[in-house]
Chains A and B, each alone.
Chain A
């Protein structure tokens, strides 16, 4: 699990220019698709140099095979969870781009499925870290925050790569069948048809202030 966590958190760790996209589509019946992409291609040299090491800052560096194996385990385990109908993963080990796509019956099942799999894969079994809702949907309103586990991890990272982190972007996209009435985050952009919102923040700013991508979106009745 640490391998996949390390990869998922690479953006916040050490990238010279990183792109992360989380893209969720929620249909009126609550079902939808969640896509998560991490692009480390502009830091290939650095990632490759780290992968060549046995350890970094006292922590073991996973091999590419270990990362691929963990991604495969994540995919298989998540696909078995209730309410999850299709899980696709794609890992480009040359350019270091990871893409995950998950189809779900309800937002609650998506969240529970991911939490359960992370807990299963995490040997530390730190249940508290997975408590609380990261995303909620009541048919009209969607709220999302950074999971406390990720926020705490990000805060604990050393600032040795601060200058590099400043070039990264985190993009959060939410799509709906109905137009959006309002958004709580003033930095949130809406598309012309108002059925999708986009929030783009700098990864370093996000590390300092996790609330930057907090958002509550209310749809038109």
Chain B
């Protein structure tokens, strides 16, 4: 009997996933979006699809006119199967692509007409290539894949070969020597040298080409010969695919490259500590279900983690919500968040778990740091520290307002056209933010502000608030309110002057307060139309700009809240409600794209 169940499950698994498009997701994928309800996308144009950021890595060669006015349906895609978009990155290469079912192969190649058949090294699979994109077809499933070596790794290999050949640095400036040689002589020397040996850039291109081929073979060999797909290697992903929802999201944070990169120093210099830290992240997998409802998309997220990490998170959540912050959140606020954590308990738990890990490492410098941590833990008044920031925080975006600034303007003498300068008032557009925390020790921030006001005239105490002149980019003031157990920083003059006690009847209603209170540590609400379309992109970093651009033109509301947290997992939900006139499949892709940008 004991063999029957595994055999039965394995049979069910083979029947369930064996011949499906999801079986072509390589195990190297770290992030996967799998759309179950593909029917929704039948009206989506291929042109439209390839403009999404999640198609960025593979779309270039598809822009050749063959996709003009063609829908996914015209591309021969089987809508009875999942469309799986994946991305993965490790220390050597990035892998991206998507897998899907094929209904009409001829139609597929009418759209993707750049792909030429190549000899397949993989039994039972056909292979096609188009520049850096590769298409593998196995049965009625296809995999469009691109494998790109990490540039730093390519350069590392190139440098190694370049210098082993006795070459000087490719960046060596030989101008001083070359000055004595005429341009013609120099050119003929270069041609003669190029004929016998590759220059640095040519060598780098060759290395990149060969590495790219090797990695592609590694990925495809594992997938198509050994059958090492993500379903086989990740039970969580396998289970996720059984959810009866419109789409699912998977991210293996344990294999997340950026985290791995951050731990690289530990791995090489402090290997024991690395292993301990790695244990903390063991099983840190984030999964999500996308549910399509009437004029709404729900995204339910579950973050699983190891028990030590879970015990820190659980302690963090042991806190009562301080509703005083709600006075400063308006009912029609464009966007706000409330974050509620018990910092003291989280610190104590982290100290209990992380310090023994650090202490195990036999490294003089680290050992000294451990001693300093232990002493700080003994000497510092932790009650005063954690009473200064009690753990409840809120932030609001109040739209764009004109703020008063000073400018220099030129003025002209009409008789001579000579000009001079004078300082006058000016106004500039500025995003208005408010950030506040709860405190049980208002005397401590007051002490700091008093001190600053004694050393610079930029800090000045007004009736209800402190003003820090020209705090923002040496131009606009920052207002600091320290009252009623809250410390609030804002560039909103209206809040400082007229609403220092809160917004009164204009504040968020009881229903919303109840929802925040009932939620977990994080609650956020964003009115997409007023936030995304108003927010000045110049103020944020390029990668965040891409995220904001992806949301531009959207109407609707995003509500995010965390729910239950225990030692094994925490759950969160994002609800995206939109205008009913808009096309649900498009919203689903927009949502996926936003998630992709957030997780990339």
Q: Which A residues are within 8 Å of any B CB, using their own CB? A: 14, 16-17, 19, 21, 23, 37, 39, 41-46, 48-50, 52-56, 58, 92, 94-95, 97, 171, 173, 175, 191-193, 196-198
Complex: chain A residue closest to B426, CB-CB: A42
B428 touches A19 (CB 8 A): no
Query: How far apart are the CA atoms of A97 and B426 in the complex, in Å?
Result: 16
Q: Is B582 positioned at the interface, with any CB of A under 8 Å from its CB?
A: no
Give which listed residue, B403, B409, B414, contacts A19 with CB less than 8 A.
B409
Evaluate contact between A17 and B419: CB separation under 8 angstroms: no
Known: A23-B419, A39-B409, A44-B474. 19 other contacts (CB 8 A): A17-B407, A41-B426, A42-B426, A44-B405, A44-B473, A45-B403, A45-B428, A45-B430, A46-B428, A46-B538, A49-B473, A50-B538, A54-B542, A56-B538, A56-B542, A97-B408, A171-B412, A196-B416, A198-B412
A19, A44, A46: the one within 8 Å of B410 (CB): A19
Q: How far is the CB of A109 from chain B (nearest CB, A)?
A: 25
CA distance A16 to B403 in the complex (A): 13
Interface size class of B (residues with CB under 8 A): 20 to 34
Chain A residue at minimal CB-CB distance from B476: A45
Is the CB–CB distance between B408 and A39 below 8 Å? yes
Given the complex, which residues of B lie within 8 Å of A41, measured CB to CB? 406-409, 426
Name the one of B417, B426, B539, B541 contacting A198, with C-beta atoms under 8 angstroms. B417
B422 to chain A, nearest CB (A): 11
The 10 closest A-B pairs by CB, nearest first: A48-B473, A42-B407, A41-B408, A41-B407, A45-B475, A45-B428, A196-B417, A44-B475, A42-B426, A198-B417
Residue pairs across A and B with CB atoms within 8 Å: the count is 80
* B205-249 with Cβ < 8 A to chain A: none
Inter-chain contact A42/B415, CB cutoff 8 Å: no
Chain B binding surface SS class: strand
Residues of B within 8 A of A192 (CB): 415
CA distance A21 to B539 in the complex (A): 28
A16 touches B417 (CB 8 A): no
- Check if B541 sits within 8 Å of A16, measured CB to CB: no
Contacts of A46 in B (CB 8 A): 428, 538
Q: Is B269 an interface residue (CB 8 A)?
A: no
Return chain B residues, CB-CB under 8 Å to A171. 410, 412
Q: Which residues on B sit within 8 Å (CB–CB) of A191?
A: 414-417
Q: Which residues of A contact B450 (CB under 8 A)?
A: none
CB-defined contacts of B412 to chain A, threshold 8 Å: 171, 198
**Nearest residue in B to A95 (C-beta to C-beta)?**
B408
Closest to B540 in A: A53
Q: Which of B403, B405, B408 has the most CB of A within 10 A?
A: B408
Once the chains bind, are B473 and A17 in contact (CB under 8 Å)? no
A21 partner, pick from B403, B410, B414, B426, beta carbons under 8 A: B410
Report yes or no: A52 in contact with B473, Cβ–Cβ below 8 A: yes
Do B428 and A44 touch across chains, with their CB atoms under 8 A apart? Answer: yes
Cβ A21 vs Cβ B419 within 8 A: yes
CB within 8 A of A55: which of B426, B472, B542?
B542
Q: Which residues of B contact A196 (CB under 8 A)?
A: 416-417
The answer, among A23, A48, A55, A97, for a CB contact under 8 Å with B475, is A48
- Contacts of B527-558 to chain A: CB distance below 8 A: 536, 538-539, 541-542
Query: Is B429's CB within 8 Å of the partner chain A?
Result: yes
Identify which of residues 404-446 in chain B touch chain A, using a CB-to-CB cut-off of 8 Å: 405-410, 412, 414-417, 419, 421, 426, 428-430
Q: Does B541 lie within 8 Å of A39, measured CB to CB?
A: no
Contacts A56-B538, A191-B417 given; indicate if A42 touches B409 (C-beta within 8 A).
yes
Residue of A nearest to B413 (CB): A191
Docked pose: A44 CA to B391 CA in angstroms: 35
A43 to chain B, nearest CB (A): 7
* Distance in angstroms between the alpha carbons of A19 and B536 in the assembled complex: 23
Min Cβ gap A110→B in Å is: 20
